[in-house]
């Protein structure tokens, strides 16, 4: 059974084109997808449980402390001096001041702060790229300094930071400056400020002394917001409300969380988990993580050596190709829409789970890109299926739309695959033919012959559609049709019988038509029920929707047998067995048709119950029974009596001729089987 390219396209090429489109779409205008990828990146931070830090302590220069100590926004130095002294007494490891000391205040105040820094010996100060140098007074006593600049990306969310800055000096030399966080870690480990490039990024320190690894891009690990760190106010520290054990051996950062400082940022975690109670007075600000806390997150990331990296490009492409390949299922049409929807949802869930699982192992993937590929495959796949379905429906309509009833056509369109692919079905085959049409056509001009056939088919073909039959083909003056396909029918034998009887009835009206030749038309019909292969048969350029099989051949032979018995409708035993009791049927004979070695029982369809004299059935079958018992005289008498009542009864005449031939030739051995071809 051939399945032609009914759509006039090469499906594989189209599917591959759509798939390539799905794969390339996320990379056309990459910026449009950054927001989606960063959304899932940030969401992964928000979904994981906060992880407390036991190494870093935050001391906030807060609004409440400012009011309590009656400090000006720029006059924290006396309080900071006292704080450094208390922290030194508590034996903290490192102190980081997230405050830029680039301008002088009162000499005694600045000198007191410088002495405190010098006495402690472990204080790192802050500076900015554009803010100028730290006062020489403090530079002379600090352990080190680092840049506190925190450049944000286009979405204004702080996801990664620079840990070293390249600065061009006035003499055109290049100076490498550490970030504030890196300087804190360097001081904590007492590392040399030298870098060595390696496969993972850079290594800070000078072997054989201790070194630490630095990634190419430092993606900050946000295991929560500022509350993951022990945090206090400077008032708590100065009032002695912090236990020494909470500070000893810790890295302590002092910075502001005052609203007017505007030193607040949006982090991936804080984007979805807004901390409360950070600011003393209720101020609606979206950025809720103070800058000093950001430095704490960076320091903790460097101390843990727990770096979050993006999935490498080759693996990302491979992952995209895997998603792309799995999405080809949406083009197949093998799955029901409900299953495809479930598969689409499951695919989204799988991608999200994969994203979170890899994130747990410090690998970030472009989740939105994968989701877009998956969604594109789903949408393009369904669009492709709709396109194919539309073309198949148009193909079926063009091929069979005029050959079947509207009801069957509608059902066929709903099950196009069955129609196109073909299958073995039990059907009732229908063949009809005009008796002696060759002789009739010889009496007509070509245009008259066409007019006669067109009128004949116009009257007959609608009867097939009326009973949900499918016109297979027109063969000259013959008609081939079948019932029970492409859409299964429980009573396909009845439908074929109804069609046959309606045709015979219509013939009476047709013979009254003035078209030349109509009065001479007589038809014979053959019906057989059995399995047949129903589908599209032919080549790529020429095909037809047809039925093939042994059942088809037998129906065709039975139509021709009508000429032997003088009947109009002959059907097989298989059709007879499936007919309802609405019909009147009588047995005719055992016949061996051409192409068959064994005889088959044939029946004549006379009409509907109540419209036929049942004696015409019982008397013929009685006479045939006597004939088969070779009681020729008794059979002949019954046939003659039946013929006297029904002069036009063809089977009676057939059997009387047969009996005469047997008697005339003096046959003593004969079989009660008819061989029409002999």
**Of the candidates 347, 378, 395, which is a domain's last residue?**
395
Beta bridge partners of 309: 363
Range of weakest confidence among 127-136, 418-427, 579-588: 418-427
Number of domains in the chain: 4
- Which tokens belong to 385? 């299926």
Average of pLDDT values for 501-525?
Answer: 92
Identify whether 603 is part of a domain: yes
- Report the pLDDT value the prediction gives residue 283, as an integer from 0 to 100: 38
Contact 197, 214 (CB under 8 A): no
In this predicted structure, the answer to whether residue 4 has a pLDDT above a threshold of 70 is no
Range of weakest confidence among 91-95, 283-287, 304-308: 283-287
Residues in the chain, how many? Answer: 678
**Of the candidates 304, 331, 348, which is a domain's last residue?**
304
Identify whether 40 is part of a domain: yes
Question: HSE (CB half, 13 Å, CA atoms) of 95?
Answer: 28
Extract long-range pairs of 8-14: CB within 8 Å, 24+ residues apart.
8/391, 9/391, 11/388, 14/384
Identify whether 401 is part of a domain: no
Residues 421, 534: Cα–Cα separation, whole Å: 9
- Please state whether beta strands 569-572 and 523-538 pair in parallel, antiparallel, or not at all (unpaired): parallel
Range of weakest confidence among 64-78, 347-361, 478-492, 608-622: 64-78
Contact 234, 61 (CB under 8 A): yes
Same-domain pairing of 259 and 382: no
Percentage of the chain modeled with pLDDT above 70: 86
- Report the pLDDT value the prediction gives residue 174, as an integer from 0 to 100: 73
- Which tokens belong to 309? 């990296």
In three state form, how does the secondary structure of 234-246 look? HHHHHCCCCCHHH
In this predicted structure, the answer to whether residue 26 has a pLDDT above a threshold of 70 is no
In this predicted structure, the answer to whether residue 379 has a pLDDT above a threshold of 90 is no
Same-domain pairing of 161 and 247: yes
- Report the pLDDT value the prediction gives residue 478, as an integer from 0 to 100: 95
pLDDT digits (tens, 9 = 90+) for 534-563: 887 777 667 777 899 999 999 999 999 999
Range of weakest confidence among 156-170, 425-439, 465-479, 627-641: 156-170
Contacts of 279 (CB under 8 A, 6+ apart): 63, 257, 259, 285
Residues 3, 537: Cα–Cα separation, whole Å: 7
Residues 235, 230: Cα–Cα separation, whole Å: 15
Beta bridge partners of 203: 196, 213
Identify whether 415 is part of a domain: no
- Report the pLDDT value the prediction gives residue 179, as an integer from 0 to 100: 93
Question: HSE (CB half, 13 Å, CA atoms) of 298?
Answer: 33
Beta bridge partners of 147: 127, 179
Residues 549, 423: Cα–Cα separation, whole Å: 12
pLDDT band with cut points at 50, 70 and 90 for residue 85: very high
Work out the number of other CB atoms within 10 angstroms of the CB of residue 30: 11
Give the CATH number of the domain where residue 457 resides. 3.30.70.1230
Strand runs (DSSP E) across 539-640, as ranges?
A: 543-548, 569-572, 583-591, 600-608
Average of pLDDT values for 116-138?
Answer: 90
Name residue, tokens 């029946």.
603
Same-domain pairing of 150 and 272: yes
Contacts of 642 (CB under 8 A, 6+ apart): 615, 616, 619, 620, 623, 649, 652
pLDDT band with cut points at 50, 70 and 90 for residue 380: confident
- Please state whether beta strands 543-548 and 289-290 pair in parallel, antiparallel, or not at all (unpaired): unpaired
Same-domain pairing of 323 and 298: no
Residues 239, 65: Cα–Cα separation, whole Å: 11
Same-domain pairing of 643 and 499: no
Contacts of 128 (CB under 8 A, 6+ apart): 100, 147, 148, 149
Same-domain pairing of 60 and 34: no
Residues 439, 307: Cα–Cα separation, whole Å: 97
Average of pLDDT values for 119-128?
Answer: 94
pLDDT band with cut points at 50, 70 and 90 for residue 433: very high
Contacts of 296 (CB under 8 A, 6+ apart): 53, 56, 58, 226, 229, 253
Q: Could you list the residue range(s) of the whole structural domain that residue 204 is in?
A: 48-304
In this predicted structure, the answer to whether residue 324 has a pLDDT above a threshold of 90 is no
Work out the number of other CB atoms within 10 angstroms of the CB of residue 189: 15
Same-domain pairing of 141 and 290: yes
- Report the pLDDT value the prediction gives residue 650, as an integer from 0 to 100: 94
The verdict on whether omega for the bond into residue 535 sits within 30 degrees of 0, i.e. cis, is no
267 φ, ψ (degrees, to nearest 5): -110, 160
Contact 524, 459 (CB under 8 A): no
pLDDT band with cut points at 50, 70 and 90 for residue 326: confident
549: left (phi over 0), alpha (psi -120 to 50) or beta: left
Cα dist from 77 to 95, 100, 275, 493, 654, whole Å: 15, 11, 28, 105, 131
**Of the candidates 554, 577, 607, which is a domain's last residue?**
607
- Report the pLDDT value the prediction gives residue 175, as an integer from 0 to 100: 76
Same-domain pairing of 562 and 432: yes
pTM over 0.75: no
- Report the pLDDT value the prediction gives residue 69, as an integer from 0 to 100: 60
Helix, strand and coil in the chain, % to nearest 5? 45, 20, 35
Residues 589, 583: Cα–Cα separation, whole Å: 19
534 φ, ψ (degrees, to nearest 5): -110, 125
- Report the pLDDT value the prediction gives residue 66, as an integer from 0 to 100: 73
Average of pLDDT values for 459-466?
Answer: 92
Same-domain pairing of 378 and 517: no
Name residue, tokens 């002092």.
254
b/e map of 324-345 (b: 16 or more CB within 10 Å)?
Answer: beebebbbebeeeeeebeebbe
Identify whether 406 is part of a domain: no
In this predicted structure, the answer to whether residue 166 has a pLDDT above a threshold of 90 is no
Instruction: Report the candidate in 331, 314, 265, 318 with the shortest Cα–Cα distance to residue 294.
Output: 265
Residues 286, 270: Cα–Cα separation, whole Å: 9
- Report the pLDDT value the prediction gives residue 114, as an integer from 0 to 100: 94
Same-domain pairing of 542 and 661: no
138: left (phi over 0), alpha (psi -120 to 50) or beta: alpha
- Report the pLDDT value the prediction gives residue 21, as an integer from 0 to 100: 61
Same-domain pairing of 27 and 63: no
Residues 421, 396: Cα–Cα separation, whole Å: 12
Identify whether 118 is part of a domain: yes
b/e map of 80-97 (b: 16 or more CB within 10 Å)?
Answer: bbbbbbbbbebebbbbbb
pLDDT digits (tens, 9 = 90+) for 595-612: 888 999 999 999 999 999
Identify whether 4 is part of a domain: no
Cα dist from 596 to 81, 174, 432, 553, 591, whole Å: 117, 102, 21, 10, 9
Residues 462, 485: Cα–Cα separation, whole Å: 17
Contact 81, 113 (CB under 8 A): yes
Name residue, tokens 């984007």.
271
Share the mean pLDDT of the chain: 86
Identify whether 565 is part of a domain: yes
- Which tokens belong to 110? 């600045």
- Report the pLDDT value the prediction gives residue 138, as an integer from 0 to 100: 93
Same-domain pairing of 152 and 206: yes
- Report the pLDDT value the prediction gives residue 29, as an integer from 0 to 100: 47
Residues 40, 42: Cα–Cα separation, whole Å: 5
- Which tokens belong to 152? 């944000």
Q: Which SS3 state, helix, strand or coil, does residue 167 take?
A: strand
Range of weakest confidence among 273-277, 408-412, 489-493, 591-595: 273-277
């Amino acid at each position: 059974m051939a399945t032609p390219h009914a759509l006039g396209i090469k499906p594989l090429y189209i599917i591959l084109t759509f798939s390539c489109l799905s794969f390339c779409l996320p990379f056309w205008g990459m910026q449009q997808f950054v927001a989606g990828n960063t959304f899932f990146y940030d969401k992964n931070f928000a979904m994981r449980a906060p992880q407390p830090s036991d190494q870093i302590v935050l001391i906030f220069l807060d609004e409440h402390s400012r009011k309590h100590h009656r400090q000006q926004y720029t006059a924290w130095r006396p309080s900071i001096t006292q704080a450094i002294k208390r922290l030194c007494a508590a034996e903290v490891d490192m102190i980081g001041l997230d405050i830029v000391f680039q301008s002088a205040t009162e000499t005694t105040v600045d000198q007191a702060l410088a002495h405190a820094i010098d006495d402690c010996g472990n204080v790192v100060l802050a500076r900015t790229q554009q803010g100028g140098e730290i006062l020489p007074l403090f530079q002379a006593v600090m352990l080190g300094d680092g840049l506190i600049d925190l450049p944000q990306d286009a979405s204004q969310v702080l996801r990664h930071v620079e840990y070293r800055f390249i600065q061009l000096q006035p003499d055109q030399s290049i100076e490498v400056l550490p970030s504030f966080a890196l300087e804190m870690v360097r001081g904590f480990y007492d590392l040399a400020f030298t870098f060595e490039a390696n496969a993972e990024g850079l290594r800070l320190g000078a072997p054989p002394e201790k070194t630490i690894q630095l990634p190419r891009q430092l993606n900050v690990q946000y295991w929560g917001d500022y509350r993951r760190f022990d945090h206090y106010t400077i008032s708590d520290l100065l009032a002695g409300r912090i236990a020494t054990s909470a500070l000893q051996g810790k890295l302590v950062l002092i910075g502001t969380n005052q609203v007017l400082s505007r030193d607040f940022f949006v982090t991936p975690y804080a984007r979805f988990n807004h901390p409360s109670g950070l600011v003393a007075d209720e101020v609606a600000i979206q950025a809720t993580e103070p800058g000093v806390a950001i430095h704490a997150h960076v320091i903790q990331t460097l101390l843990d050596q727990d770096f979050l990296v993006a999935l490498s490009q080759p693996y990302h492409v491979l992952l995209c190709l895997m998603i792309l390949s799995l999405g080809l299922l949406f083009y197949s049409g093998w799955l029901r829409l409900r299953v495809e929807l479930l598969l689409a949802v499951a695919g989204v869930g799988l991608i999200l789970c994969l994203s979170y699982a890899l994130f747990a192992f410090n690998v970030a993937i472009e989740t939105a890109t994968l989701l877009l590929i998956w969604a594109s495959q789903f949408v393009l796949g369904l669009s492709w299926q709709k396109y194919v379905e539309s073309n198949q429906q148009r193909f079926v309509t063009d091929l069979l739309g005029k050959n079947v009833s509207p009801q069957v056509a509608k059902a066929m369109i709903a099950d196009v695959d069955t129609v196109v692919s073909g299958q073995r079905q039990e059907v009732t085959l229908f063949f009809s033919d005009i008796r002696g049409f060759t002789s009739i056509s010889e009496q007509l001009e070509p245009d008259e012959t066409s007019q006669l056939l067109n009128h004949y088919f116009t009257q007959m073909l609608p009867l097939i559609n009326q009973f949900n039959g499918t016109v297979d083909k027109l063969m000259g003056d013959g008609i081939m049709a079948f019932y029970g396909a492409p859409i299964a029918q429980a009573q396909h034998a009845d439908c074929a019988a109804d069609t046959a009887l309606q045709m015979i009835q219509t013939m009476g009206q047709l013979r009254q038509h003035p078209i030349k030749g109509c009065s001479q038309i007589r038809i014979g019909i053959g019906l057989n029920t059995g399995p047949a292969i129903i589908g599209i048969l032919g080549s790529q350029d020429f095909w037809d929707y047809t039925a093939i099989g042994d059942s088809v051949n037998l129906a065709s032979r039975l139509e021709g047998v009508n000429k032997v018995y003088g009947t109009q409708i002959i059907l097989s035993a298989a059709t007879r067995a499936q007919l309802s009791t609405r019909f009147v049927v009588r047995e005719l004979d055992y016949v061996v048709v051409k192409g068959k070695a064994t005889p088959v029982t044939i029946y004549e369809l006379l009409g509907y119950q109540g419209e036929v004299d049942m004696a015409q059935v019982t008397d013929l079958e009685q006479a045939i029974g006597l004939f088969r018992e070779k009681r020729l005289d008794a059979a002949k008498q019954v046939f003659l009596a039946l013929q006297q009542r029904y002069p036009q009864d063809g089977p009676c005449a057939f059997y009387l001729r047969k009996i005469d031939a047997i008697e005339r030739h003096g046959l003593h051995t004969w079989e009660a089987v008819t061989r029409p071809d002999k």
